[in-house]
Each structure stands twice: as C-alpha cells, then as structure tokens.
C-alpha cells in the first residue's frame, strides 16, 4: 500500500467509525471500493474524502478517535501527489502546531512557519484535496483539447471534411 494523505485519513476514519464496513456505509459505497481507496489502488472522490475527513474530525472532537501524538518539532508539510498545502497569506508550505505540546488533531490550529498565519488543520487538508481535484480536471481538459487538435489535424491532412 502506498501511504498518502488520502489513505492515512481513510484508515483513521475507518478505525474511528468501528471498521471498514461502517465507514463504507457512511460513505455509501461498497466495502471493496473503500478497500481500493484505502490501499491507494483507486482515487478517492473528493466528496467521499471530505465526508471521511468531516467524520474523523467529529470523532476527534467527541473523544471517540484519538488525535495523533504531538510532533517532534519537525515542520509539517502536507502533500497530495505533486501538490503541497500552502499558507493562504504567504504561500509557505511548512506548518507547526500552534500548541506544540498538544496532540495533532484535525480540529487543532496550525501556524505557518513563515508568517505565523493560523489555519485549522482539517481545513488545510480539505483545501489541498480540492486543489488536487481541480488539478486533475485541468489536466483532463488539457488532454482532451490536445487530442481534439490532433484529430482535427489528422482529418485536415487526410482531406476529410469536418
């Protein structure tokens, strides 16, 4: 399994929900689909990921899911594919918990290490996921335009009317 922010979140959400069957039910997907998402063999749809993130945040707030232990002082960098979460103020990519001794929770506050701007951890992850989906859509649209242009050029070369 290739561990990513998606897979880590889904695994933690499944643990908090009481298992993969429970999370699959919450997300309204077959359990084998969830298993493919959790293993990284298939891309998790944005809506499902955000729902899992929301549920995990709620479980952390209620105490049903334990937040991760405090960090070791190393900067936190959040990646999804080739995208990196950025500060809304300065585009910095390194964050630190506002309270370095508190566990790292999705509802906890992070601070940009470059400018000090505060952001809720879960909101930063959600924004990164949305950016990743927009990037995929942009790449798909660009690929479709290129394919259309190639087909058009091939028709012109063959003398076939449009």
Q: What is the DSSP string of 115-158?
A: T--EEEHHHHHHHHHHHHHHHHHHHHHHHHHHHHHHHHHHHHHH
Q: What pTM does this model have?
A: 0.82
Domain around 150: 68-162
Q: What is the pLDDT of residue 162?
A: 57
Task: Say if residue 128's pLDDT is above 80.
Answer: yes
Rounded distance, CA 58 to CA 65, Å? Answer: 9
Q: What is the pLDDT of residue 49?
A: 96
pLDDT-based confidence at residue 152 (cuts at 50, 70, 90): confident
Q: What is the pLDDT of residues 47-103, one digit of tens each?
A: 999 999 999 999 999 988 888 877 777 899 999 888 999 999 999 999 999 988 888
Q: What is the pLDDT of residue 1?
A: 58
Asked if 61 and 77 sit in the same domain, the reply is no
Asked if 58 and 74 sit in the same domain, the reply is no
Asked if 62 and 84 sit in the same domain, the reply is no
């Amino acid at each position: 399994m290739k561990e990513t922010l998606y897979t880590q979140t889904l695994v933690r959400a499944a643990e908090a929900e009481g298992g993969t069957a429970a999370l699959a039910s919450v997300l309204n997907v077959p359990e084998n689909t969830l298993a493919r998402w959790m293993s990284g063999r298939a891309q998790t749809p944005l809506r499902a990921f955000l729902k899992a993130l929301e549920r995990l945040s709620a479980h952390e707030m209620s105490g049903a899911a334990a937040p991760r232990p405090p960090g070791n002082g190393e900067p936190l960098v959040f990646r999804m594919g080739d995208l990196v979460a950025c500060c809304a103020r300065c585009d910095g990519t390194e964050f630190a918990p506002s309270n370095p001794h508190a566990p790292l929770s999705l509802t906890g506050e992070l601070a940009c290490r470059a400018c000090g701007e505060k952001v809720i951890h879960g909101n930063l992850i959600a924004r990164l996921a949305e950016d990743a989906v927009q990037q995929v859509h942009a790449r798909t649209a660009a690929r479709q335009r290129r394919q259309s242009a190639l087909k058009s050029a091939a028709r012109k070369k063959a003398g076939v009317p449009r």
